[in-house]
């Protein structure tokens, strides 16, 4: 898998907003009202003001086991918070049937202020009881060498033609640090998010179509709408097709989630404002990364920064299809679910060293291509409900444009799934849903402040 990026705004939760209104952002012990005009860089905030990662406020704290005997069981539908020491492996237990697919994302959070090498990161694998490998993924902090959250994933898949890891039984999620010899004495915090995907009701195709719309779409234009990014996956800000404006400080990642239906394509571009000064060049400076509904990386892009405005786009991505899981490589292989897809935007801390601590103006341009199609016909619902658009609601099929049931779950799908299935080129539908979420955002903001005060990440 390619390198993943992400630092986060943990303490910038949405307090109140209208579809076109200005939004206040909440930090740990103070409110920062952004008075600077788009296109300007405000006064330096200082490295100490970079928000910490916003762990899921409902995450259950568990201890990592150094062996399989004491490994804590992970249940789909529950998010967990744990820690990884500087060396050695840690284990978590999965009890799986012989029909459902299981996925576990692992977001590792290096401590702020530590010195890292480009190869510092985590290895994540799923193994059966006989040490057979079901999946393997490695992610590092990359060339920025900044201590920022990184996400890898493990999977146990029931696939036609795959012989290993197809039986019901006990499996283990194994997490370990990569061996680079730097910053090994301080533990990294972990956020674990297990998801269960139900089987199909009937047999499906296993061949991946080679033809898809690979034409570059026209640039998305229009007046930007203020939309502060979330501080982590669980608090990602919901956006649809449109131009979205925010501010970002060096060392920070902003998280967004976009509903993408079956048969649809995701396009995304991020624009970074000028600093008004020429103080050298930073490579890499700005990263844009896309993740699927179970937080597995799809693709990313990065660009350098020399103080003038810059823009970068994700590579062209094929449509979301169930059969993509049979593709040999990413990005196609990861585009296997309909539902909320995540976008993270990371600005390197080294930009602050060269050009000042900001904040910097930023625009995220999101386009959804193609008409939404019917799903593959699942036998049940994902756990948590709504993470994967299975087209089911309490045993009833949810028609295109209907209301999908279920709460936020791990990805906060719920009400936005209907927008994805019905096609999200309809701005009025998106704004209606975002309006409904305003009330929820107010409640989450106050809860996040309390949680951050009780569980600071230093």
186 and 249 co-located in one domain:
no
Instruction: Collapse the DSSP code of 311 into the 3-class scheme (helix H, G, I; strand E, B; otherwise coil) and give the result.
Output: strand
443 and 303 co-located in one domain:
yes
Residue in 268, 322, 262, 323 with CA at minimum distance from that of residue 291: 268
pLDDT, residue 67, reads 95
Residue ending a domain, choose from 168, 197, 226: 197
7 lies in some domain? no
Residue 102's domain comprises 60-197
210 lies in some domain? no
- Using CA atoms, how far apart are residues 259 and 418, in angstroms rounded to an integer? 9
pLDDT, residue 423, reads 37
- Using CA atoms, how far apart are residues 279 and 173, in angstroms rounded to an integer? 45
118 and 261 co-located in one domain:
no
1 lies in some domain? no
40 lies in some domain? yes
Greatest CA separation for the chain: 60
Q: Which residues contact 284 (CB under 8 A, 6 or more apart)?
A: 142, 143, 144, 302, 303, 304, 348
pLDDT, residue 391, reads 83
133 and 108 co-located in one domain:
yes
Q: Which residues pair with 13 in a beta bridge?
A: 26
85 and 175 co-located in one domain:
yes
pLDDT, residue 186, reads 79
429 and 311 co-located in one domain:
yes
CATH number (domain holding residue 248): 2.60.120.380
pLDDT in tens, 213-228: 999 998 888 899 999 9
Q: What is the CA radius of gyration of the chain?
A: 21
pLDDT, residue 323, reads 96
Residue ending a domain, choose from 197, 228, 245: 197
CA distances from 264 to 44, 160, 339, 372, 400 (A): 41, 25, 11, 6, 14
Which helix (H) or strand (E) is 295 found in, with range?
none
103 lies in some domain? yes
147 lies in some domain? yes
Cβ(347)–Cβ(303) below 8 Å: no
pLDDT, residue 57, reads 96
142 and 186 co-located in one domain:
yes
Q: What is the mean pLDDT of each run of 10 residues along the chain (458 residues)?
A: 38 33 32 32 50 95 96 98 89 97 96 87 96 95 90 94 91 90 76 97 89 90 95 98 97 96 97 88 95 97 95 97 95 97 96 93 96 94 96 41 31 38 38 39 41 39
Instruction: Collapse the DSSP code of 253 into the 3-class scheme (helix H, G, I; strand E, B; otherwise coil) and give the result.
Output: strand
262 and 231 co-located in one domain:
yes
Sheet containing 237-238, strands listed edge to edge, beginning at the edge strand earlier in sequence: 237-238, 252-260, 339-347, 282-291, 297-305
Residue in 202, 174, 230, 238 with CA at minimum distance from that of residue 420: 238
Count of structural domains, the chain? 2
190 and 270 co-located in one domain:
no
- For residue 331, whether the previous peptide bond is cis, meaning omega lies within 30 degrees of 0, is yes
CB half-sphere exposure, 218, CA atoms < 13 A: 2
92 lies in some domain? yes
pLDDT in tens, 339-394: 999 999 999 999 999 999 899 999 999 999 999 999 999 999 999 999 999 986 43
Residue in 302, 215, 220 with CA at minimum distance from that of residue 258: 220
Cβ(249)–Cβ(146) below 8 Å: no
284 and 409 co-located in one domain:
yes
Residue at token pair 């608090």: 235
204 lies in some domain? no
Residue in 164, 165, 166, 161 with CA at minimum distance from that of residue 206: 161
């Amino acid at each position: 898998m390619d390198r993943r990026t992400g630092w986060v705004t943990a303490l910038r939760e949405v307090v109140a907003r209208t579809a076109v209104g200005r939004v206040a952002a909440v930090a740990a012990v103070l409110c920062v009202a952004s008075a600077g005009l788009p296109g300007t860089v405000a006064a330096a905030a200082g490295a100490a003001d970079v928000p910490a990662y916003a762990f899921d406020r409902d995450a259950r704290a568990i201890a990592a086991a150094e062996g399989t005997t004491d490994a804590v069981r992970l249940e789909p539908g529950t998010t967990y918070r744990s820690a990884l020491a500087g060396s050695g492996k840690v284990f978590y237990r999965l009890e799986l049937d012989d029909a459902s697919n299981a996925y576990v994302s692992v977001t590792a959070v290096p401590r702020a202020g530590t010195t890292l090498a480009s190869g510092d990161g985590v290895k994540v694998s799923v193994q059966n009881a006989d040490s057979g490998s079901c999946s393997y993924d490695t992610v590092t902090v990359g060339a920025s060498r900044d201590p920022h959250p990184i996400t890898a994933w493990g999977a146990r898949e029931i696939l036609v033609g795959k012989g290993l890891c197809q039986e019901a039984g006990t499996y283990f999620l194994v997490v370990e640090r990569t061996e680079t010899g730097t910053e090994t004495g301080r533990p990294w915090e972990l956020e674990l998010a297990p998801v269960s995907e139900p089987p199909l009701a009937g047999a499906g195709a296993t061949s991946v179509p080679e033809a898809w719309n690979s034409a570059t779409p026209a640039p998305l234009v229009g007046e930007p709408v203020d939309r502060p990014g979330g501080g982590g996956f669980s608090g990602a800000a919901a956006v649809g097709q449109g131009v979205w404006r925010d501010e970002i400080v060096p060392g920070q990642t902003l998280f967004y989630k976009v509903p993408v239906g079956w048969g649809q394509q995701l396009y995304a571009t991020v624009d970074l404002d000028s600093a008004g000064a020429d103080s050298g060049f930073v490579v890499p400076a700005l990263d844009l990364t896309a993740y699927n509904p179970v937080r597995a990386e799809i693709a990313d892009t990065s660009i350098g920064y020399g103080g003038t405005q810059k823009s970068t786009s994700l590579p062209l991505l094929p449509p979301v299809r169930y059969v993509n899981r049979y593709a040999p490589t990413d990005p196609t292989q990861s585009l296997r679910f309909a539902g909320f897809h995540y976008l993270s935007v990371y600005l390197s801390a080294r930009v602050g060293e060269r050009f000042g601590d900001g904040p910097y103006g930023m625009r995220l341009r999101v386009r959804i291509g193609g008409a939404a199609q019917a799903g593959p016909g699942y036998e049940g619902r994902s756990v948590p409900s709504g993470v994967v658009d299975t087209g089911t609601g309490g045993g009833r099929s949810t028609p295109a444009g209907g209301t999908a049931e279920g709460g936020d779950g791990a990805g906060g799908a719920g009400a936005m799934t209907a927008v994805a299935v019905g096609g999200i080129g309809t701005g009025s539908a998106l704004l209606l849903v975002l309006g409904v979420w305003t009330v929820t955002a107010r409640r989450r903001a106050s809860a996040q402040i309390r949680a951050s005060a009780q569980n600071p990440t230093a």
